[in-house]
Homo-oligomer: A and B are copies of this chain.
């Protein structure tokens, strides 16, 4: 099919998977790291910093924006992207609590 059967899963499972999907590409990881590391918001320099074409970067930025992890504000002819701190923290918590479900792991295997 190619289509995830979202109706089989809980809203939380779908939400977590969707968030992880937004992060699951090296270009988007790189973009987020660039945004985080530059004190001021990075704008179009991403295209030169990362070696991908401008439409490709723009597409990845759109996905990150849709996920809520970043937000962009128009600044003259360019656009200024930065982390959406609130959603970033929500995402962190969501992933954290997934990883910290305590497995009463008797290491049975």
Contacts and interface: CB of A to CB of B under 8 A. Distances in A.
Interface of A: 4-6, 8-9, 13-14, 16-18, 20-21, 23-30, 33, 35-37, 39-41, 50-52, 71-73, 80-83, 85, 88, 91-92, 95-96, 98-109
A33 B101 contact: yes
A59 to B, nearest CB: 12
Given A37-B101, A71-B109, A73-B109, 18 more contacts: A4-B27, A5-B27, A5-B51, A6-B26, A8-B50, A9-B26, A9-B29, A13-B29, A16-B29, A20-B20, A20-B23, A24-B24, A39-B104, A40-B106, A82-B105, A82-B107, A83-B103, A95-B99
B36 A26 contact: no
A55 to B, nearest CB: 12
Contact of A24 (B21, B37, B83): B21
B109 A41 contact: yes
